[in-house]
Structure 1
């Protein structure tokens, strides 16, 4: 018999009001996970939980805490797959919270922080895949970047694959359509303003570049391969 693990441990500082909200969220999750708690007790608890909670996690007709289920990848098992330690406010009203676990719910943690720790965003954390035997492909990890609008997941497997792709093909990171102007230098195509700054450029895959109907210009634009990301 062997065991695999998804491990993470990190802390972040949030506003005192957010820390208070997190305490109520954790208590509500523990309540809905208790099969012995009746609907009357759940309704009574919800009535005291606060308007900020109700706004973030809207109730349904069936249960006041159904909105919490959106935090979980499997809504049939609403449980926190990590420990969360919430400190006390400092002189500036900041509270350090610490999340950790050996079977860490990466997606649940990301959803929870996006909803309840807005003052700390953008924020990110790393996780590790581990195994108690030296078995092939059982080790790795990844990261999560959380913003108010999005949650981005990355894995070491994908990062390794991309690095190998770059070793085999200089166009692995895509292409931009560049136009050389005698006075203004290079500009790059985007679908909104046409040729503009590089930061606004549309990045094409190889297939998209091959099929793109290049706009007619006085000068002929060229396809340029995007460079690999900076290496730290």
Structure 2
């Protein structure tokens, strides 16, 4: 419920700063009622109290939500259902809002669809957004399709990892920050990156292994 309230305040602030008729004095007065939780997530600057909020937008000169946000009433457990909807949907802004204002639901994700008035190659499809506390990952059907087709032509379509066998610890996989270790932490290289990589010194000669295709459900 607290996060829904924060989201509502954030949306109100976005509407306010998007109004060109609102001056700095009015913005300062509104900021005083935003609360400490808002100030912690969207730090102000000396120039304007809402400069931190502009980081949500690809263009800080155009801070407008191009989607609707419907916030429901809290249930008995204090949980609130929130819907994001719209035709010209700002995927990146929506993802950033969720990451900042609804941290209790993370990790979280949503799908989106792309269409066009006329049938044009490459303009139809969709994708997904996977949101964690530290990162936002985007996937698009165009890239996924290209990768699926590439696997039929190139075993390295999903990249390469560097492996070496240690007499004491067994097989290790290279991580660019920590050296050889567990497979789950391995750095994945493109074919071009692997070709230019300066091999580290190891007890066994390191070898490149092609990444397998992801699981199909």
TM-score by length of 2: 0.88
Secondary structure, in 3 states, of the residue corresponding to 2:19? coil
Structure 1 match to 2:209: 224
- Matching residue within 132, 157, 162 for 1:172: 157
Partners of 1:149 and 1:25 lie apart in 2 by 20
Question: How far is 1:174 from its partner?
Answer: 1.9
* Higher strand proportion (structure 1 or 2): 1
SS in 2 for 1:209: helix
Counterpart Cα distance in 2 of 1:218 and 1:190 = 16
- Write the distance in 1 (CA, Å) between the matches of 2:2 and 2:148: 43
Does the 8 Å CA contact 2:4/2:80 hold for their aligned counterparts?
yes
Partner of 1:39: 24
Once structures 1 and 2 are overlaid, which stretch shifts more, 142-151 or 211-220? 211-220
Matched, 1:147 2:147: no
Return 47-56 or 116-125, whichever deviates more.
47-56
**TM superposition shift of 1:191:** 4.7
Q: Structure 2 unaligned runs (5+)?
A: none
**In structure 2, distance between residues paired with 1:43 and 1:192:** 44
Q: Does 1:122 align with 2:107?
A: yes
Task: Verify: 1:101 aligned to 2:86, yes or no.
Answer: yes
Count of equivalent residues: 217
Which secondary structure state, in structure 1, belongs to the residue aligned with residue 81 of structure 2? strand
Residues 34-73 of structure 1 aligned to structure 2 (within 5 Å): 34-73=19-58
SS at the partner of 1:52?
helix
Normalising by structure 1, we get a TM-score of 0.82
Question: Could you tell me how far apart the structure 1 residues matched to 2:187 and 2:119 are?
Answer: 43
User: Taking CA–CA contacts closer than 8 Å with sequence separation of 6 or more, which of the two structures ends up with the larger relative contact order?
Assistant: 1
Out of 70, 78, 81, the position equivalent to 2:63 is 78
Residue 97 of structure 1 and its aligned partner are, at CA, apart by 0.6
Q: After superposition, give the CA deviation of every residue in 1:147-172 in whole Å (9 maximum; x if it has no partner).
A: 11111112111111111221110011
**Is this contact kept in 1: 2:164–2:202, CA < 8 A?**
no
Q: Equivalent residue of 1:157, what SS?
A: helix
1:7-46 per-position Cα deviation (integer Å, ceiling 9, x unaligned) = xxxxxxxxx1100001111111111112232333222221
Contact 2:155–2:210 (Cα < 8 Å) also in 1 = yes
CA deviation string 1:63-114 (max 9, x = no partner) = 2222211111111111111000111221222111110000001111111111
Q: Structure 1: where are the runs of 5+ without partners?
A: 1-15
Q: Quote how far apart the aligned CAs of 1:185 are.
A: 6.0
